[in-house]
Structure 1
Amino acid sequence: MIEEHGRVVAVESGAVWVETLRKSTCSSCSVKAGCGQGLLDQIGVSGRRGYVRALSNLHLSVGDAVIIGVREDLLVRGSLLVYLLPLLGLFFAAVLADQLGLREPWVILSALFGFLLACCAVRWRSRLTAGDPALQPVVLRALLAGAAAAY
C-alpha cells in the first residue's frame, strides 16, 4: 500500500476529501541539476496542494490528520493504461499505415489518429471504472492530535 499524509477538508457519507502536499524526490536524485522537474522544485512550484477523495468508514471531521493509501498494483496498472496504451496506439497505427503502403504524411496522420483513439479509450475506461470502490484511495488511519500538529 502506498501511503500519503493529509488533512481532511470535507466530509461526505462514506468518504472524505483530503488535502495532501505534493512532494518531489528531486533532493535525492543524482541528475537533479539537468532536469526540468528539479528546477521547478527549486523555485517552489512542486509544493502545491492536491485534493483527493478517499473512502472512509472512520468518524472524521474537518481538520483531522489522516493517512490515505492506494494499492501498488492499482498504481502500476493505471500507469500502464495511461502511458503505454496511447503509445501502443500510435505505433500500431503508424506501422499499419506503413504496411498498407501509404505515403509518409498519411503515416504520420495515422499515428496521430491511433494516439488520439487510444487516449479516448483510456478516458472511456476511466469513466467506466470511476465509481468502483475497489479502485479508490482509502483512509487507512487517523493520526493523533500531536502528530496532526506536525503536519
Structure 2
Amino acid sequence: MIKEWATVISWQSGMAKVSCDVKASCSSCASRAGCGSRILNKLGPQTQHTIVVPSEQPLVAGQKVELGIAEGSLLSSALLVYMSPLVGLFVVGGLFQVLFGGDLAALCGALLGGVGGFLLARGLSPMLAARAEWQPVILSVGLPPDMLRVDASPSETGQ
C-alpha cells in the first residue's frame, strides 16, 4: 500500500474532498544543481492535487487524513499509460515495415501505432479508474485542528 497524508478541504454526504501536496524529490539531495527533476518541478505550476474519497466518518476542514492506494493498481495504471503507446509504436511500425518495405512506411506506422496506443490507454483509463481497487481509501484520520491546543505561555510555578 502506498500512503500519503492529505488535508481535508470539505466533507459532505460521506464524501471528503482532500488536497495532497506535491513533494519535490530534490529538496534534500546533494546534487541539486545538476538535477533534471529539480528543473521539471520548477516548470509545473501545480503544487496540489485535489481528489474526492469516500469517508463514513464526518471530517472537518483542515483535518489531516492518511490516504492509501494499492501498489498493484498504481503499477497497472503506469503499465497501461507507458506501455500501450510503446507497444503500438513497435508493432504497427514493424507491421508497416513488413507490408510496405520502406523506412518512411515504418516511420508512419510507428507514429500511427504510438498515437493509437495513447488513444487506447486514454479510452481504457476511465473504465479502469471506476474499479473499487483503483480508488484511494482513507487509512487513518488525525485529530481535528481545533482539538489540539499548545499553550506557549511561560509557566506560573517556575517563574
TM-score tier by shorter-chain length is 0.7 to 0.9
Partner of 1:129: 128
Contact 1:33–1:39 (Cα < 8 Å) also in 2: no
SS of residue paired to 1:39: helix
% identity of equivalent residues: 31
* Whole-angstrom distance in 2 between the partners of 1:30 and 1:88: 37
Partner of 1:142: 141
The 1:125/1:24 distance shift into structure 2, 3 A limit, reads same
SS of residue paired to 1:26: coil
Q: CA deviation at 1:118?
A: 1.1
SS of residue paired to 1:25: coil
Q: What do residues 55-98 of structure 1 show as CA deviations (whole Å, max 9, x unaligned)?
A: 32222122221111111111111111111111111111111111
RMSD across aligned positions (CA):
2.5
* Whole-angstrom distance in 1 between the partners of 2:114 and 2:105: 14
Q: CA deviation at 1:53?
A: 2.0
**Between Structure 1 and Structure 2, how many residues are aligned?**
147
Aligned amino acid, residue 121 of structure 2: V
* Whole-angstrom distance in 1 between the partners of 2:43 and 2:144: 28
Q: Which runs of 5+ in 1 are unaligned?
A: none
Q: What do residues 40-65 of structure 1 show as CA deviations (whole Å, max 9, x unaligned)?
A: 44x59577111122232222122221
* Whole-angstrom distance in 1 between the partners of 2:43 and 2:126: 33
Partner of 2:151: none
SS of residue paired to 1:34: coil
What TM-score, normalized to structure 1?
Answer: 0.82
* Whole-angstrom distance in 2 between the partners of 1:89 and 1:45: 29
SS of residue paired to 2:100: coil
Partner of 2:3: 3
* Whole-angstrom distance in 2 between the partners of 1:130 and 1:47: 22
Q: Which runs of 5+ in 2 are unaligned?
A: 149-159
Q: CA deviation at 1:34?
A: 3.1
The answer to which of 105-114 and 23-32 deviates more is 23-32
The answer to which of 45-54 and 126-135 deviates more is 45-54
* Larger RCO (alpha carbons 8 Å, 6+ apart): 1
What TM-score, normalized to structure 2?
Answer: 0.78
Structure showing the higher helix proportion among its residues: 1
Deviating above 4 A after TM superposition, structure 1's stretches of 4 or more consecutive aligned residues are 28-32, 43-47
Partner of 1:35: 35
